[in-house]
Amino acid sequence: MSENKMNRGLKNRHLQLISLGGVIGSGYFLGTGYVLEKAGPAAILAYLLGGVIVLCVMLCLAELAVEKPISGSFVTYAKENISSTWACGVGWAYWITWVAYVPSEMIAAGIIMSNFVPAISQLWWAVLFGLLVTAINLFHVDKFGESEFWLALFKIVALVAFSIVAGLICLGLIGDQGYLGTTVLLGSGGFAPNGYWSIILTMVIILVNFQGTEIIGLAAGECKEPEKSIPIAVRNVTWRIIALYIIPISLLISILPWNQAGLDESVFAMALANYGMTGVASFFAFVILTAAISCSNSGLYGAARAMHSLARLDMAPRFLGEINKNGMPSKAIMLSICACWAVILLYSIDPDSAVYTYLLAVSGFTGAIAWISICWSQYRRRKMMMATGADRRLKFRTPLFPYVTLFGIWAQVFCLVVMAFTPDLQEALYAGVPMLLLPMCWYKLRAWRRKAIATKAVVH
């Protein structure tokens, strides 16, 4: 069960698109309307600010992962550089985040398929996609990487195609509306119709959408030549995420008035339908289906690696740290998917269940805590290395240290403070704090109990 038995089968191209798989889920295509509805055209700035925070976190993660490329990375980094108790809380909270989020993607995929094939309920479609994602994750890691590469690539191609068409509509080359310019963009109350504070509020929501980029770190123990592939992946993924959000959404809001956006349907399909392309709804339904499966795929990967890391660090049952003959943490994968199925079952019994809503809200808090933990670990690690001069041996260094690191930490702390004082976002905070603190209390109590037993044994 040593770390070197993990199968290093992920190529550089796999690594880059695995994290995109977790970021561009069905929420991107369905939830963008909510962001535009709240902030109007100013949502573009919210996406830019969110992208800067992502860049800071990823640069910190790259330094840690290149120095020590292991599976389940940031849980181990937190244990070594912060504390075991904190690592236990962060690891379990992160696992719960994906266990709650992956079923929501499966259910979204089930809803789409039930529209095409009404005879089969959305629950059975969700279970079918759950089985598919499980099978992919249990194969050799290179097969998982290959499947995620093509699923993510399809989403990218769809967004590029939308951007080209939307750009041509803006220029008046498609449709009979003529040259649009900024007519639609600024025509319904200006750039920030709901005020500039809405940028901050939507940025907090957007950071939830960006969660998944840290999967690069979780995959570090299974990629070839991590010292080369991780820095490249971090740079490319960060700029691709910014480009795949900023460019399509900027063009979207240039052809669709922001006050027409909402959660009723995909705003991308709605925007094109306004210009006579009514047949694209089915295409975007398929894109959303692909996005949901891809996000479930990479999310389960992240959950399983986090659980495997917790088990290896004696923060979860040890059998979950076992690796099968394919070099995969199969038991951690099975536990994660069983937990996902339990959430799907809960949803099927009562779609309006408070427990289901509670679990889904967790990701808003726990994702931010995982990112803060990455930056905090890198800050403390670099400080310790600088004290001994060991930092000169680093193959990749986070630039502008400590400013980049501290900005990554405090920007997210600020977001958590905003959540605490925003009624619509408080639920995520109230749901997330117990998920962080309960594992920490359990770990601390177990440590005290073990110490008491050991002391008693010595006395006797």
Exposed/middle/buried for residue 377 (C-beta within 10 Å: 0-12, 13-18, 19+): buried
Spans of the chain below 50 pLDDT? 1-4
Alpha-carbon dihedral 84, 55, 413, 103, rounded to 10 degrees:
-70
Which runs of consecutive H residues, i.e. helices, occur in 3-72? Answer: 12-23, 26-39, 43-67
pLDDT of residue 72: 65
pLDDT of residue 145: 79
* Distance of alpha carbon 382 from alpha carbon 390, whole angstroms: 9
For the chain, the straight-line distance linking the first and the last C-alpha, in angstroms and rounded, comes to: 35
Please name the residues in contact with 154: beta carbons below 8 A apart, sequence gap of 6 or more. Answer: 287, 290
As given in the structure block, the two tokens for residue 20 are 């995109």
pLDDT of residue 441: 94
What residue type is assigned to position 24 of the chain?
A: I
* Distance of alpha carbon 213 from alpha carbon 230, whole angstroms: 12
Task: Give CA separation, 252 vs 157, 180, 200, 260, 317, in Å.
Answer: 16, 12, 21, 12, 48
* Distance of alpha carbon 63 from alpha carbon 165, whole angstroms: 39
pLDDT of residue 184: 77
